[in-house]
Amino acid sequence: MSPQGAGTSAEQSDAQADGKSKFEKRKKKIEGRMALVDHVLVVLSGKGGVGKSTVAVNLAGELARQGKKVGLLDADMHGPSTPHMLDLEGTPVAADGEVMQPVGHPSGLEVMSIGFLLRQKDDAVVWRGPMKMNLLGQFLADVEWGELDYLVVDLPPGTGDEPLSICQLIPELTGGIIVTTPQEVALSDVRKCVNFCRDIELPVLGVVENMSGYVCPHCGERSDIFGAGGGKDMADQMDVPFLGQMPMDPRLVEACDAGHMFVEEYPESEASAALNGAVDTITRSAKSDNQSTKRRVMMRIAIPVANGELASHFGHCEEFRFFDVSGDEGSIEDTDAQSPPPHRPGVLPEWLKENETDVVIAGGMGRRAQQLFSEAGIDVVVGATESEPRSLVQSYLEDSLETGENLCSH
């Protein structure tokens, strides 16, 4: 007898299969969202307190100032500072069902942060890893980012589970920008950050040295409070690009505290010039990597059909209708119809895999068949109640597909 509350092995297997199906569905949604984004930039730091969020916000602002369509995702669950830096605190997030709209900023930025969802701005987020990863997955899958030239993601500091999971969730990352300060205690952690990027095959677009000296606004004397040049030396040693030095500027602190975009308020400043140079280097690098054309993700959905409508059982259908869906607003690009091979156990998952199928929508399907499809990497939706194939696909893409009882119990 199994322990109370443990559940049977069959129940546990069903729960695991359900979890895997939800994960694969979310993964497809993320791929569809990111297909509309030309470049995804992640801003990292080996440790906290180096001004990573300040760089991320103003880097995104400088891209927007140059006429780019830019999204900014604050992925730091415990220190969501973006709403304050952009004077957006207390702004409600518009939602329609599961779909959330990013919060617009006068600069043109489209912004999302957990800070918008807290009841009070000083509320602590006391969550374990799975809850944080679930919300970050929602930010990528359910936020309607639309078409963007750049999505800038402000990652949590360090090289732990959260930055790793976020980088794995987003397909085809353009690269990472690493922020450091000049002193050795920060540079040591940045070296680990560079190695982290290499371990996950994330291109390092460059290193920004923040708080690189202080120039007195009254007498003009420069003081290297935290040292200077350490970031460039480290970048040279690690063989990664150096994007520039941002000096300490009291106006930068004032702008962040007041919720103003520093690069807009003080475009002539040395710090803004450094950010401008970093942006130029990043955009040139993106173009040289041949990633300036819009990525498109194709998804193929298969519907078993009999007499022109959804067949009650996928294994006894006249033909399969295939729908090719583009990542561009989830539009149906093409359709095809093929007669399946003679029905016998295990043949259809293999055949549909050969036809590059990603999703099968069926009225009924046995558990063993569902398992075989899962092993083939094909997502399965059972219990579909609509009958017209194209409407089924449209409902699936809109997350409004209604399902009932699985019509097959074996």
Q: What is the DSSP letter of 116?
A: G
Asked if 205 and 311 sit in the same domain, the reply is no
Q: Would 16 be classed as within a structural domain?
A: no
pLDDT value for 215 = 67
Domain finish residue from 263, 288, 313: 288
Q: Are 150 and 38 in contact (CB under 8 A)?
A: yes
- The pLDDT value recorded for residue 190 is 78
| Residue closest to 85 by CA, chosen among 210, 255, 208 | 255
Domain boundaries, position 361: 298-397
Asked if the structure places residue 406 within a domain, the reply is no
* Domain shared by 283 and 359, yes or no: no
Per residue in 4-30, pLDDT tens?
A: 545 565 555 555 555 556 767 788 888
Residues 355 and 283 reside in one and the same domain:
no
Beta partners for residue 147, in sequence order? none
| Per-residue pLDDT reduced to its tens digit, 195-230 | 988 888 889 999 998 887 776 767 766 777 766 667
Instruction: Tell whether 185 and 91 lie within a shared domain.
Output: yes
| Number of domains composing the chain | 2
| Of the candidates 109, 111, 89, 108, the residue with the CA atom closest to the CA atom of residue 100 | 111
Handedness of CA 102, 54, 65, 141 (dihedral sign): negative
pLDDT-based confidence at residue 253 (cuts at 50, 70, 90): confident
* Domain shared by 248 and 105, yes or no: yes
Q: In angstroms, rounded to a whole number, what is the distance separating the alpha carbons of residues 130 and 127?
A: 8
Residues 108 and 248 in one domain: yes
Per the listing, tokens 């990525």 go with: 295
Average pLDDT of the chain, as a whole number = 81
Local confidence band at 299 (pLDDT 50, 70, 90 cut-offs): confident
Which pTM value belongs to this model? 0.64
